[in-house]
Structure 1
Amino acid sequence: MHASVKMQFDAIANDYDRQRKQLIPCFDEFYGMAVSLVECEPSSKVLDLGSGTGLFAGLVMQKYPDIHLTLMDLSDSMLDGARARFSRTDRVQYIVGDYSEYAFSGQYDAVISSLSIHHLTHPDKQRLFHTVYRLLRSGGIFVNADQVQGHTPAADAYYRKQWLEAIHRSGLTQEAIDSSIERRKLDINATLSDQIGWLEAAGFTDVDCMYKYLDFAVFYGKKA
C-alpha cells in the first residue's frame, strides 16, 4: 500500500498545490481552522507528517516565521516542492520516509498533518497516534486535518456525490479529475468517533473534531 501511495503522489507532485484548492471544496475553512489551532511559542519545533509540498507547514510558518520545521513524506518528488517553497529559510529539515515505521528521535512542540494519515490502515493509525503523543513535549499539540468515513454508508455516499459534483465544477481537466478519483481508491478513512477514541486512548486530552465539512475534518489533541 505504501508503495502505491508513493507512486500516485510522485506522479502529481508538480501540480499538487495548484489542484488542491480545486479538489477540496472547503479549502479555505479547512486549512484556516487547522492553522488557527496551531498555537505555540515563536521558535517552536514543529513536525509535519506526510507534508507533501509543505502547504500546511508553509501556512503555519507564515503565522510563526521563526519556527523550526521538520517535514516528512514518502515522496521525495513531493518534498522537492517543499524545498522550493522554503528555499529562503534554513529552519526546515526534510526526511524522506514512512512515518508509520520511522524511528523518530527528539521531541516537538507541535505535530501537524494534512490529508495523509487516512492512507494508513486503522491499526497503523492507532499506533501512529501513540507515537505522536510520545514525540510531543508536555503541553504539545497535535493537529490533523484529514478525511473521515461517514457514520453510515448513506452518509459516505452523500459525501462522495457532493465531492464529485464539486470537482466537476472546479475547472479541473478531466484527466486531473480521473487521476484524483483513482488516488482516492487508496483511501482508508476512519469514522470521526473512532479517531477521537484512538486519540484519547493514546493519552491526548482536549480531543475534539474542531471542523467538519462532509468527509473533511480537523482533529485536535493536547499532551497534558
Structure 2
Amino acid sequence: MNHVRSTFDATANGYDAQRRKLIPCFDDYYGTAVSLAEAGAAKPRILDLGAGTGLLSSMLLAKHPEAQLTLIDLSDNMLAVAKERFAGQPDIDYVCRDYTSYMEEEAFDLIVSSLSIHHLSDEGKQAVYRNAYANLKPGGIFINADQVLGRTPFIDALYKDDWKRKIEASGLTRAELDAAYERTKIDRMSGLDEQLAWLAQAGFSDAGCVYQSFNFVVMYGRKQEEGSRSE
C-alpha cells in the first residue's frame, strides 16, 4: 500500500486535468455512476472510498447538494486537492487512511468508489465489499466505477490495446503518457464475474454490472430493506 500512496501523492496536482483523456468513456462512465446514486434521504450520508481529489464526490454533491460526505483516501496529497475543491463547503469529512477495514458507527445511504478498488488484492476487494455492506443503511446503495480484467487473456489484451490506442491520440504529452503507463504497474485487477459474485456473497441484492466500455465498468449492489426480499 505504501507504493500506491507514493504513486498518487506524486500525481495529485495534475490528476483531474488528465482524467477525461485517460478515461475514453469519461462522460458515460461517471454519468452512469451518478445516475445510479439515488438516495431516499434529503441529506444523504455518502462515503467515497479512495476518494482521491474528490472528482466523483463533486458530481454527487451537485446531485445531492445537502449531502454529508466522507472522503477517505490513502494519499494526503490527493485529499489536499479535495479540500481545495470543497473549500467552504460544510458537512465534508476527510479521512486519510487505508479504507479496506474502515467501519463507521453511523451508517451511510450511499457508498461509492471510482478507480480505486482495482489496486487491492482479491482478498482486499472482498473485505471492502463486506465492509461496504456493513456500513450501509438498509436500502442503501453501493456503486463501484472501476476497471476489470478481461474474461480471457485475449480479451484483456483487446482492452489494453484499445485504451493505449485512444490515450496515445488524446493529446497527452509523452511524459504524461509514460506516467500513466507507470501507474498501471500498481493495478491488481480482478474479473467482473468474480467481483459480482463477491458482492452477492457480501450480502448485496441485485449485484450487477450496469455499464461497461472495454475494461471500464460500473458495478451496483443494494442492501435490502429489512423484511424485504429480492424478486
TM-score range, shorter chain: over 0.9
- Cα shift at 1:90: 1.2
Whole-Å separation in 2 of the counterparts to 1:42 and 1:148 = 33
Conservation of the 8 A alpha-carbon contact between 2:112 and 2:144? yes
Structure 2 alignment gaps of length 5 or more: 225-231
State the partner residue of 2:229.
none
Counterpart secondary structure, 2:94: strand
* 1:128 counterpart = 2:128: yes
C-alpha offsets along residues 137-165 of structure 1, whole Å, 9 cap, x if unaligned?
00000000000100000011011101111
Letter in structure 2 aligned against 1:138: P
1:6 corresponds to: 5
1:135 & 1:150 partners in 2: Cα distance? 30
Aligned ranges 1:95-110 → 2 under 5 Å = 95-110=95-110
Note the residue ranges of structure 1 that are not aligned, 5 or more in a row: none
Q: Tell me, what secondary structure is at the counterpart of 1:70?
A: strand
CA–CA separation in structure 2 for the residues paired with 1:5 and 1:171: 26
What's the counterpart of residue 59 of structure 1?
59
Distance 1:103 1:134 in 2: 8
Give the corresponding residue for 2:115: 115
Contact conserved, 2:51 with 2:71, CA < 8 A, in 1?
Answer: yes
Task: Indicate if the aligned counterparts of 2:114 and 2:144 stay in contact, CA closer than 8 A.
Answer: yes
Give distance in 1, aligned partners of 2:158 and 2:102.
36
Q: What is the match of residue 50 of structure 1?
A: 50
Q: Structure 1 vs Structure 2: percent identity of aligned residues?
A: 46
Code of the residue aligned with 1:27 in structure 2: it is: F
CA RMSD of aligned residues (A): 0.8
CA distance in 1, matches of 2:179, 2:166: 15
Question: Which whole-Å CA distance do the structure 1 matches of 2:72 and 2:133 have between them?
Answer: 17
CA-CA distance at 1:194 after TM superposition = 0.4
TM-score by length of 2: 0.95
Give CA-to-partner distance per residue, 1:46-103, whole Å, 9 cap, x none: 0000000000010000011000000000001000111011112111100000001334
Map residues 1-224 of structure 1 onto 2, 5 A cutoff. 2-40=1-39, 41-224=41-224
The alpha carbon displacement at 1:116 in A equals: 0.2
Per-residue CA deviation, residues 169-191 of structure 1 (Å, 9 max, x unaligned), is 11111111001101011111111
Size of the aligned set, in residue pairs, is 223
